[in-house]
Amino acid sequence: MGRNNTKSNDRSCEDEKILDRYTSKVNERLKDYLNGLTGELKRYHPFMGLCADESREYILRGGRRIMSCCALLTYEGYTGEIDERILDLCVAIELYRHAILIHDDIADEDEMRRGGRSFHKLFVEGYDERFGNSLAIFYGNLLFAQSLESIKNSGIDEETKGQIIELFAESYQSVNESQILDILFEYTIPTVREWEIMASNRASPLFGMIMAGGAMLGGAPEDEMKVLTRAGGHIGISFDIQDDIIGTFATEEQYGRAVGSDIILCKKPLHIAYAYELAERDDLEILERLMNKRSEEFYSDDERIKTVKEIVSRCGALDRAKETSRYHAKKAIELIRSTSIDDGVKDFFTGFIGFVAESLEWYG
């Protein structure tokens, strides 16, 4: 048992070093692109230059570039190298991802992102909430347009450019469809199946797009591109479930910010959808009252968070959600290992995805 834990920790440390090394490469390329964008927008209007400066700081805040690293590793797994083409794709991925995060923070009323103010909150001072929200919506749209522009102006061949742009457009539509359902679920009681439909269009197509993009640029066989797209989909769902669990069951110290906001907003992640199916009648009645936006009963935030967590744990919904996350992690690993990608890259994904699945035991 101890030896297995030691091996797991060693593997985790090695994976973290790989992520840090690849994140540095992405950041270096991203800084160059954002500097150019700032200059371009300043020439258009001084205020746009200010927006670009703020977005540069926002995008370059600390944290590992997990999605870009997945694309880099997939590409390297087929080519044995990292070059300008894959780094150009990583820039596009980061612009795309932050376009979504900016919009996400507005919808979820989040005031903080990675140790700093959310993008819309950066522009409230001196103006008002409406100004900050409106500006952030438009700037998020601008970043998505820039993600496509960065691909168009990259050194990627024309045919592949078109295919990657199509992947980005399809993924962006899917993500926005899922966000509509996500906010609808704040006012309804979704079934587990409805949650699965929503989740299949959230992080799932995003990771699928990233794995497919890295494989496409790397010259992977077409059948393996499809396999890696499916693998990315499973990674996205597994990580999505884990992220929702952390946001509710982690400590504030573990999470880096206040926990339980999903409960306060009456969001319905998988562990809540399972609770509606598994809770005993008395607990179910309490859950329905606490997670009802239209309820006129008053509960303090702390009382609501504490009671909902207890019900989700007691009825087995938390364990069921963890099992589902592990299932998708296992499927992703199996699919990746079935390809001809480099064995070292297979080992990275196996260790990294496996570690994320194992870490679920830390919460709840």
Q: Are 113 and 97 in contact (CB under 8 A)?
A: no
What is the C-alpha R_g of the chain? Answer: 21
Nearest-angstrom CA–CA distance, 229 and 335: 10
Could you state, in order of their start, the residue ranges of all structural domains in the chain? 1-156, 158-364
Q: For a pLDDT cut of 70, what percent of the chain falls above it?
A: 96
Q: What pLDDT is recorded for position 11? A: 60
Q: Which of 137, 145, 184, 135 is nearest to 293 (CA)?
A: 184
Q: What pLDDT is recorded for position 317? A: 98
Whether 1-156 and 158-364 share one fold: the answer is yes
Superfamily of domain 1-156: Farnesyl Diphosphate Synthase (1.10.600.10)
Nearest-angstrom CA–CA distance, 21 and 19: 5
User: How open is the CA angle 353-359-361, to the nearest 5 degrees?
Assistant: 135
Q: What is the mean pLDDT of residues 121-138?
A: 96
339-355 residue pLDDT tens: 999 999 999 999 999 99
Neighbours of 141 (CB within 10 A): 13
Q: What pLDDT is recorded for position 4? A: 47
> Which alpha helices (H) appear in 218-264, and where do they start and end?
222-249, 252-255, 261-264
Mean pLDDT lowest for which of 66-70, 122-126, 256-260?
Answer: 256-260
Q: Are 269 and 309 in contact (CB under 8 A)?
A: no
| Fold (CATH) for 158-364 | Farnesyl Diphosphate Synthase (1.10.600)
185-196 residue pLDDT tens: 999 999 999 999
SS3 267: coil
Q: What is the mean pLDDT of residues 154-179?
A: 96
Q: What pLDDT is recorded for position 250? A: 86
Which residues have a Cβ under 8 Å from the Cβ of 190 and sit 6 or more positions away? 181, 198, 268, 273
- 258, pLDDT greater than 90: no
Q: Are 224 and 218 in contact (CB under 8 A)?
A: no
Nearest-angstrom CA–CA distance, 95 and 33: 10
